[in-house]
Amino acid sequence: MKKRLVATVNYSQGDKGDSTHHFYSNGRGADLTDFISYTDNYNHLVEIPANKNEQKIHCDSTVHYIHSTFPQPLRFFAKTYTYTNNLVASCKTRNIRNANTSFEITRNSFGKPVKIDYSDSSAFDSSHTIRYLTYNSNQLLTKDSVFDVRNNIPETVKTFLYNQYNLDTLISVYEYQNGSISRTTHQRKIYDASKRLIYSMWQYDLNGTLQNATLDSFAYRGTDTVHNYFVEYNWDSNINDWMGSQKKRKFFSTNGTSDTLMNQLWFTPNWDTSDIKVIHYDNDGYIEHTEDYLYIGDGLFSATTLSETYHYFENYFPTTVSEINLYVDVTVSPNPSKGIININAGNTYFNNVVITDIQGRIVCSKSAPATCSTLLHTQLPAGNYVLSLYNQDVRIATQKLIIE
């Protein structure tokens, strides 16, 4: 039994603003625990991160409503997305239909998007663009190009460079103007010894000379991998120095989840708190609802919320082993095993192996560069287990495993 998000409702100063509903077929769902995951990942503005994975809302359709309170309470459709070719195990192409829009993702054998085709035939915003994405041998994005089909012209190109730890260190953006291409922006990233991002500096290109634009600074608590402190600076050419712009601080609860976010803005010569977001989790660690409060001064916040967001979940039974194995022919041998397991998925790539016990608890997890086969050494007690293969966080195969 697992949970899946079925609805999100937003309130602004007590009035319902909008809501989003997700609909699933049997056995489909996704584990969602952060803010970004709750938004629709598949729209024409989707950004494919350089060294991260896409969000995972594997629903069949999404309906977005807008709520109006004047002159009387009214709810009406804002948009409807219908997803096709959306099988979790063979998600190589995804088509999205919303009235006059079409959005199709074509993937490579690793499950990575290689072509994103978006078109809108509405009278107000007729457009057709295609994004082409190229990856290196480690399946890290190296080039992201956008082509305007309607006007038959290229638009932009992004290029990515990585260090020896496969962390992106340089992103360059080029734009086509008047038949030629020129670099417009340049982003450098610096990491600490624990491979955590600590600085990200944006520069713009002025006739081939880089000019400072924005500097993002990150700080961490102890060995945390998620930053608890963020400061953004903007370059002030008048004083030839960085000036504060915004500051965000996370406060963590005893179980390690962030339960309060504080936002501050720079008003020369000091930082001034603007608002806080309070996060409430359910017993399973899912974000149940959030509340935003305005800062009113002297260390006090407004007693009434500026906005609230509620997330609603339902329990469901995930896809069964037999349904998953329809798409991937995986061999696990020997089985029963004494702890050394040979895993072969034929021509299908995977990059993570997870073994769970009969209670669903993870007892072994191994990540590696994408491969079709691997040799796994375990020291598990004798018993029955479930071995699952993942490709970029998408489960593609499951096998029963016996350790003797």
Nearest in space to 357 (alpha carbons), one of 383, 391, 392: 383
* pLDDT at site 232: 96
* pLDDT at site 90: 39
Stretch among 76-80, 165-169, 353-357 having the lowest mean pLDDT = 76-80
* pLDDT at site 207: 85
Band (pLDDT 50/70/90 cuts) for residue 4 is confident
Mean of the pLDDT values across residues 168-188?
Answer: 91
* CB 263, CB 232: distance < 8 Å: no
What structural domains does the chain harbor?
1-98+278-319 (no CATH), 322-403 (2.60.40.1930)
Beta strands in 46-122 (DSSP E): 61-68, 74-84, 93-98, 101-107, 113-120
Band (pLDDT 50/70/90 cuts) for residue 293 is very high
pLDDT tens digits, one per residue of 184-225: 999 999 999 999 999 999 999 988 899 999 999 999 988 888
Q: How many helices (H) and strands (E) does the chain have?
A: 1, 28
Percentage of residues in the chain having pLDDT higher than 90: 29
* pLDDT at site 95: 45
Question: CA 162 to CA 167: how far, in whole Å?
Answer: 5
Band (pLDDT 50/70/90 cuts) for residue 115 is confident
**Between these two residues, 33 and 275, which has the higher pLDDT value?**
275
Percentage of residues in the chain having pLDDT higher than 70: 76
**Between these two residues, 362 and 305, which has the higher pLDDT value?**
305
**Amino acid at residue number 48:** I
Tokens of 304: 């009434």
Question: CA 30 to CA 393: how far, in whole Å?
Answer: 10
Average of per-residue pLDDT values in the chain? 80
Mean of the pLDDT values across residues 104-126?
Answer: 75
Band (pLDDT 50/70/90 cuts) for residue 175 is very high
